[in-house]
Amino acid sequence: MLIKSDRLNDNDLKLWNDLEEIDAHHLETDGYQKRKALTIDFIKDFIASDKKYYCGISWGKDSIVLADMFSRLNADAKFVYFRNVAREPEGHQDVKKIFLNTHDINYEEVSYDYSNYDSSYFDTKGRPAKWQNLLKEYKRKYGCHVTGLRYDESSKRKMRFNVFGLETEYSFAPFRYFNVHDIFAYMLEYNLPIHPNYAMLGGGRWDKYRIRVAAIGNKEGNGMGRTEWEKEYYQDILNRINKKN
């Protein structure tokens, strides 16, 4: 269920419909069904371990699928959204509204804002220190962070799974075998709300499977044409951020 947005043009919507046919075909494959069942078994085993945990939710495709899987298993889970207020794409709120209307989950939202940040927000190498401290605080509060990280996302993600497996001291990531094509097939199968960002494809110049819903103008994750894509679809937010800074 693609969420409507004024930022999407007719070419975006036509291409999205064409690509969704590929998702529908993938949905019928044995490989998808086997990987889905295996992933759900991973989650069942984790829940049965009785470890303290919370599920992070960003309103992007991976966290939506993760939340739906936990919800269908009737897991006693806390779901937490760390909201970057000033840089949030507006599609987040629409996705959130639909999902929360159809899923009875224990939800918490934590707002933070980099629009007027000071030196405490970043370390000497420019990494988001305040964000990392926020994650540490929630680990102490709720336990392990359940995340929608996937093995096929990047070489860094692959190394994480190869070294630690599904669990580290700080996180549990069940998408070891569930790939990006599986994610979109799952969303189609269960009619989950899909963030409009994923259809902002510039007539095919941008890759649906590489699009993210991260905060606009974020210092991290700006590779793979992310900066250029933001300028094409979110120049107004970038302009607003630059004026404040």
For residue 4, being part of any structural domain is answered with no
Per-residue pLDDT of the chain (245 residues; tens, 9 = 90+): 999 999 999 999 999 999 999 999 999 999 999 999 999 999 999 999 989 999 999 999 999 999 999 999 999 999 999 887 777 888 899 999 999 999 999 999 988 766 555 566 667 766 667 667 777 888 888 999 999 999 888 888 888 888 888 998 889 999 999 999 999 999 999 999 999 999 999 989 999 998 988 877 766 555 567 888 888 888 888 887 776 55
Residue 127: its H or E element: none
For residue 3, being part of any structural domain is answered with no
Residue 59 near residue 83, CB atoms below 8 Å? no
Residue 194 near residue 61, CB atoms below 8 Å? yes
Global pTM exceeds 0.75: yes
For residue 132, being part of any structural domain is answered with yes
Residue 55 near residue 70, CB atoms below 8 Å? yes
For residue 56, being part of any structural domain is answered with yes
Query: The CATH number of the domain where 238 resides is what?
Result: 3.40.50.620
Residue 140 near residue 155, CB atoms below 8 Å? no
For residue 218, being part of any structural domain is answered with yes
Number of domains in the chain: 1
Q: What share of the chain is helix, strand, coil (3-state, %, to 5)?
A: 50, 10, 35
Residue 67's φ and ψ, nearest 5 degrees, are: -65, -40
Q: What is the pLDDT of residue 128?
A: 67
Q: Which domain holds residue 134?
A: 10-244
For residue 1, being part of any structural domain is answered with no
